[in-house]
Amino acid sequence: MTGKITFTMIKPDATGKNLIGAILEKINTAGFKIVAMKYTQLSKAQAEEFYGVHQGKPFFNDLVSFMTSGPIVAAVLSKDNAVEDYRKLIGATNPVNAADGTIRKLYAESVQCNAVHGSDADETAKIESDFFFSGLERF
Ligand code: IDP
Ligand code: MG
């Protein structure tokens, strides 16, 4: 059993297509509680920092442009085994490889515009949650 929280973003492709409600419905139905949430738009510097681990990769600049192209929803989600269970719920990075019924299979358009972010480990879930939310913004 891993930790109790993960971090997600609903990305600009999905907010732009009015999919916020549908995606939050999938998240709640799968048993995740929303413990913090905000609707915002990333600056270039914020996107570069958030995705710093990908700096130097061929898709990095396009990823930063995409992630700053429109509003996002950032949220901290709570559930037992949160990181692993949420990665299962969202599906593979490339929607072509995502399992049926996953959020990316249902709502992603491409490997870049793939609807949602999900933390990849307990440690990154904490770093990413702290990037967006103070302790006072978690319930
Ligand atoms: P993840 O979001 O499934 O954890 P990562 O490998 O951490 O995938 O990549 C971060 C984000 O960068 C992806 O969600 C996607 O938006 C974008 N990305 C990853 N690989 C590619 C690629 O090969 N081409 C274009 N964009 C990519
Ligand atoms: Mg990742």
Per-residue model confidence as pLDDT tens digits over 34-72: 999 999 999 999 999 999 999 999 999 999 999 999 999
Residue 90's region, left for phi above 0, alpha for psi from -120 to 50, else beta, is: alpha
Query: Is the minimum distance from the CB of 2 to ligand 1 under 6 angstroms?
Result: no
Which of the two residues, 2 and 48, has the higher pLDDT score?
A: 48
Q: Residue 38's pLDDT is what?
A: 98
The full set of domains in the chain, from first to last, is 5-137 (3.30.70.141)
Given the residues 117, 118, 128, 133, the one annotated as active site:
117
Q: Which atom of ligand 1 is nearest to the CA of 67?
A: 16
User: How many angstroms separate the Cα of 86 from the Cα of each of 19, 45, 70, 122, 128?
Assistant: 18, 27, 24, 12, 15
Q: Which tens digit of pLDDT belongs to each residue from 29-38?
A: 999 999 999 9
Q: Residue 3's pLDDT is what?
A: 85
pTM of the model: 0.97
Q: Which atom of ligand 1 is nearest to the CA of 93?
A: 3
Instruction: List, as ranges, residues with CB under 5 A of the ion ligand 2.
Output: 120
* pLDDT beyond 70 at 1: no
Mean pLDDT of the chain: 97
pLDDT band at 118 (very low <50, low <70, confident <90, very high): very high
- Cα–Cα–Cα angle for 123, 21, 100, nearest 5°? 70
* pLDDT beyond 70 at 20: yes
- Scanning the structure block, which residue is given the tokens 């048993």? 31
